């Protein structure tokens, strides 16, 4: 990834590209994905939203090679997941919804090393990469903890460290916070935010508030890509939101209903905007 | 029914070096026809607590009472019919070739006649807006559809108390709204609903009372306004906005639900 000669940072190479990608499950009347085309450029952070059944999970499975497209093209760092799954798994890490399902080893550091063991990485290098990955998710001192004694947020960070140790260029986050409480969610989102500069990220979620800082948001509905827009445009398009069963987070929803801008993100920002407005209007009145 | 937990303690792996005290004396009542929200961080004891409500877990000490009768003296199958528990990710337990067979599985073991079972399956699928899925394979459904079918299977047992453990995790916002509407509908039909959730905004919308757990103990219990305004660090976004404004705008009151909060904010002078 550091060497432009290897291709991943050279001009023409994309982190992910899909062209006219289609897939139907056996026996289903409707296609799960229908002619979906998009690109994820190196270093981009792109959100994926849409209703249940819209095609989000199918897209993730096509990208990591668990499913094979009926037609169209999918590439991850120039490799075809269906025919080169082992190559793709070096370039792509997937963080799943429920951290309980992915942790296997007796100690945190063994769990983080698991992916590297399967790749046959030499022991000294493995040690370095595991230590670095544990640092990247802020779990120094947890190396000898048993995963089952950790909180949900900590477990999800262990799972993330396991992905980072493999040093993929592309990360897919498949609803990584939906099993976490508010504190765990914040922890994981902060770590993901810190990785932005180094990784290309596709973040699948039902929480629009996790995507306020994304470069773009893809909206999948009924298997079709119905929008590929900036967060600002998605949040301020009530029709797009309604048609795709998206709901604004509470704070921007309150703000809009009060005639204030939807880009107020925190309760503090909203409270201040309300005070400013009511305060000044009271004085002039 | 009245369901009551009295000073319930629970120790996992008791008597071994791995013993963990997950509940440390929880007392709590579920009243007929109320929605009780149970909140608390990961590991606070929420799932352990609700598993005592139908004696899936037996207290290490303390008691569970159903209409003032010790629940351990009741027939277990009867208790579990009356107190229905929907686990996290219940769709993992779907198994039958069609949705209607899956929903019929438990009620068909209650000794009801075939017509009554069919009627219950139809009715619970209808309540969950899943009647058009009846003949589909549960494995070819979307995540939201599977979740609704799994809940229908518990509802078809005709429970008096329905416990939902993180029922909306992984659901899209529209499906979540629909599930919350269903919870209100069940409450209005006289069923008590216990909802375990880490989504405070959701609990704020639907709960009549809230119980906050911390470290295996009840940290606060009461109306949503009492619990959330008394513990701002546990509060949903609506209450956090109102709390920030209350010092200078006491006339806001204690709004909790989105609509209440919006109305209170709109009523502020100077608008």
DSSP character string of A152-208: HHHHHHHHHHHHHHT--SEEEEESTTTTS-HHHHHHHHHHHHHTTTT-EEEEE-S-G
For residue A153, being part of any structural domain is answered with no
pTM of the model: 0.80
Residues B155 and B119 in one domain: yes
Q: Are strands B69-70 and B61-66 parallel, antiparallel or unpaired?
A: antiparallel
Q: What mean pLDDT is predicted for residues B100-115? A: 90
- Give the closest-approach CA distance of A283 to chain B in angstroms: 8
B241 and A254: CB-CB below 8 Å?
Answer: yes
DSSP H helix total and E strand total for chain B: 10, 10
Q: How far apart are the first and last CA of chain B?
A: 47
Residues A220 and A195 in one domain: yes
Here the CATH number for the domain that contains residue A174 is 3.40.50.300
Average pLDDT of chain B is 92
Residues B159 and B270 in one domain: no
- Measure CB to CB from residue A52 to each of B142, B177, B258 and give the nearest one: B142
Average pLDDT of chain A is 87
Residues B80 and B204 in one domain: yes
Sheet holding A45-49, edge to edge: A92-95, A170-174, A200-204, A45-49, A216-221, A224-229
For residue B244, being part of any structural domain is answered with yes
Residues A210 and A279 in one domain: no
Q: What mean pLDDT is predicted for residues B137-143? A: 84
Here the CATH number for the domain that contains residue B105 is 3.40.50.300
Q: Tokens 């945190």, residue? A: A108
Residues A279 and A176 in one domain: no
Distance of CA B39 to the CA centre of its chain: 10
- What the block records as the tokens of B51 is 């598993």
Which chain B residue shows the shortest CA-CA distance from A275?
A: B245
For residue B27, being part of any structural domain is answered with no
Residues B168 and B214 in one domain: yes
**Predicted pLDDT of residue B89:** 78
What's the pLDDT band for B180 if we cut at 50, 70, 90? very high
Residues A94 and A27 in one domain: yes
Q: What mean pLDDT is predicted for residues B33-48? A: 91
For residue B148, being part of any structural domain is answered with yes
For residue A129, being part of any structural domain is answered with no
Residues of chain A with pLDDT > 70: what percent?
94
Residues B183-196 pLDDT 10s: 999 999 999 999 99
Q: What mean pLDDT is predicted for residues B110-126? A: 91
Domain count, chain B: 2
State the count of interchain CB pairs (< 8 A) between A and B: 111
Q: How many CB atoms lie within 10 A of CB B239?
A: 27
For residue B258, being part of any structural domain is answered with yes
Residues B160 and B255 in one domain: no
- The answer to whether B169 and B176 are in contact (CB under 8 A) is no
Lowest pLDDT segment from A70-74, B138-142, B252-256: B138-142
Q: What mean pLDDT is predicted for residues A129-138? A: 91
Residues A83 and A19 in one domain: yes
The residue ranking higher by pLDDT, B197 or B42, is B197
Residues A19 and A53 in one domain: yes
Strand partners, A172: A94, A202
Q: Which long-range contacts (CB under 8 A, 24 or more apart) does A23-30 make?
A: A23/A58, A23/A62, A23/A67, A23/A69, A23/A70, A24/A70, A25/B140, A27/B137, A27/B140, A28/B140, A30/A222, A30/A223
Domain count, chain A: 2
CA dihedral A79, A85, A90, A93 (to 10 degrees): 100
Residues B165 and B257 in one domain: no
For residue A281, being part of any structural domain is answered with yes
* Residues in A touching B268 (Cβ below 8 Å): 274, 278
Angle between helix A152-165 and helix A108-119 axes, rounded to 10 deg: 30
- Give the closest-approach CA distance of B42 to chain A in angstroms: 6
pLDDT at A247 over 90: no
For residue B194, being part of any structural domain is answered with yes
Which chain A residue shows the shortest CA-CA distance from B136?
A: A28
Residues A26 and A84 in one domain: yes
For residue A190, being part of any structural domain is answered with yes
Residues B141 and B266 in one domain: no
Residues A194 and A254 in one domain: no
For residue A118, being part of any structural domain is answered with no
Residues B88 and B48 in one domain: yes
For residue B24, being part of any structural domain is answered with no
For residue A134, being part of any structural domain is answered with no
Residues A234 and A260 in one domain: no
ipTM, two decimals, is 0.83
Domain of A254 in residue numbering reads as 248-285
The residue ranking higher by pLDDT, A80 or B88, is A80
What's the pLDDT band for A285 if we cut at 50, 70, 90? very low
**Predicted pLDDT of residue A278:** 78
Q: How many CB atoms lie within 10 A of CB B184?
A: 14
Distance of CA A161 to the CA centre of its chain: 15
Residues B202 and B119 in one domain: yes
pLDDT at A27 over 90: no
Residues A77 and A173 in one domain: yes
B245 and A271: CB-CB below 8 Å?
Answer: yes
Residues B197-215 pLDDT 10s: 988 999 999 999 999 999 9
Best A206, A258, A276, A280 residue to mutate vs chain B (most B CBs within 10 Å): A206
Report the distance separating Cα A54 and Cα A162, nearest Å.
29
What's the pLDDT band for B121 if we cut at 50, 70, 90? very high
Residues B115 and B184 in one domain: yes
The residue ranking higher by pLDDT, A102 or B116, is B116
**Predicted pLDDT of residue A12:** 56
Report the distance separating Cα B54 and Cα A34, nearest Å.
46
Residues B185 and B118 in one domain: yes
- Measure CB to CB from residue A27 to each of B140, B248, B262 and give the nearest one: B140
pLDDT at B144 over 90: no
What's the pLDDT band for A10 if we cut at 50, 70, 90? very low
What's the pLDDT band for B128 if we cut at 50, 70, 90? confident
Report the distance separating Cα B163 and Cα B87, nearest Å.
8
Residues A204 and A264 in one domain: no
Domain of B91 in residue numbering reads as 32-55+75-224
DSSP H helix total and E strand total for chain A: 10, 9
Residues B128 and B153 in one domain: yes
Residues A20 and A72 in one domain: yes
């Amino acid at each position: 990834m550091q060497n432009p000669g290897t291709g991943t940072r050279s001009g023409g190479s994309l982190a992910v590209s899909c062209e006219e990608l289609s897939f139907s499950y056996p026996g289903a009347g409707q296609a799960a994905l229908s002619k979906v085309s998009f690109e994820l450029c190196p270093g981009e952070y792109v959100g994926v939203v849409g209703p249940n059944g819209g095609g989000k999970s199918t897209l993730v499975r096509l990208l990591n090679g668990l499913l094979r497209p009926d037609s169209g093209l999918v590439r991850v760092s120039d490799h075809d997941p269906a025919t080169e799954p082992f190559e793709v798994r070096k370039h792509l890490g997937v963080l799943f919804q429920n951290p309980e399902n992915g942790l296997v080893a007796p100690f945190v550091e063994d769990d983080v090393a698991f992916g590297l063991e399967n790749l046959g990485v030499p022991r000294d290098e493995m040690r370095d990469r595991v230590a670095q990955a544990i640092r990247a998710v802020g779990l120094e001192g947890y190396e000898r903890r048993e995963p089952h004694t950790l909180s949900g947020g900590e477990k999800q960070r262990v799972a993330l460290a396991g992905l980072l140790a493999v040093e993929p260029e592309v990360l897919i986050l498949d609803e990584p916070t939906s099993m976490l409480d508010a504190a765990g969610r914040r922890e994981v989102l902060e770590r993901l935010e810190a990785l932005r500069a180094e990784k290309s990220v596709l973040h699948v979620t039902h929480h629009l508030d996790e995507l306020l800082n994304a470069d773009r948001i893809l909206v999948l509905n009924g298997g079709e890509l119905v929008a590929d827009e900036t967060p600002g445009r998605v949040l301020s398009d009530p029709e797009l939101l309604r048609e795709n069963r998206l709901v604004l987070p509470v704070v921007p929803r309150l703000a809009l209903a009060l005639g204030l801008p939807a880009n107020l993100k925190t309760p503090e920002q909203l409270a201040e905007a309300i005070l400013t407005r009511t305060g000044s209007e009271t004085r002039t009145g | 029914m009245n369901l009551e937990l009295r000073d319930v303690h629970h120790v996992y792996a008791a008597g071994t070096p791995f013993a963990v005290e997950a509940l440390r004396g929880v007392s709590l009542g579920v009243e007929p026809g109320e929605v009780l929200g149970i909140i608390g961080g990961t590991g606070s004891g929420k799932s352990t607590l609700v598993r005592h409500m139908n004696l899936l877990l037996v207290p290490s000490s303390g008691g569970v009472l159903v209409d003032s009768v010790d629940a351990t003296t009741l027939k277990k199958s009867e208790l579990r019919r009356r107190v229905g528990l929907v686990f996290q990710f219940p769709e993992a337990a779907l198994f039958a070739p069609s949705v209607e067979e899956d929903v019929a599985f438990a009620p068909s073991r209650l000794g009801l006649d075939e017509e009554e079972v069919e009627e219950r399956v139809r009715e619970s699928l209808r309540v969950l807006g899943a009647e058009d899925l009846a003949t589909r394979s549960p494995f070819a459904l979307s995540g939201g559809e599977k979740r609704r079918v799994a809940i229908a299977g518990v509802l078809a047992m005709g429970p008096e108390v329905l416990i939902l453990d993180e029922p909306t995790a992984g659901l899209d916002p529209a499906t979540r709204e629909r599930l919350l509407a269903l919870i209100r509908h069940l409450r209005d039909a006289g069923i008590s609903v216990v909802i375990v959730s880490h989504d405070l905004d959701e609990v704020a919308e639907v709960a009549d009372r809230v119980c906050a757990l911390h470290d295996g103990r009840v940290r606060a219990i009461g109306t949503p306004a009492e619990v959330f305004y008394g513990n701002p660090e546990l509060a949903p976004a609506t209450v956090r906005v109102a709390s920030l404004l209350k010092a200078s705008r006491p006339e806001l009151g204690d709004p909790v639900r989105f609509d209440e909060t919006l109305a209170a904010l709109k009523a502020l002078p100077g608008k």
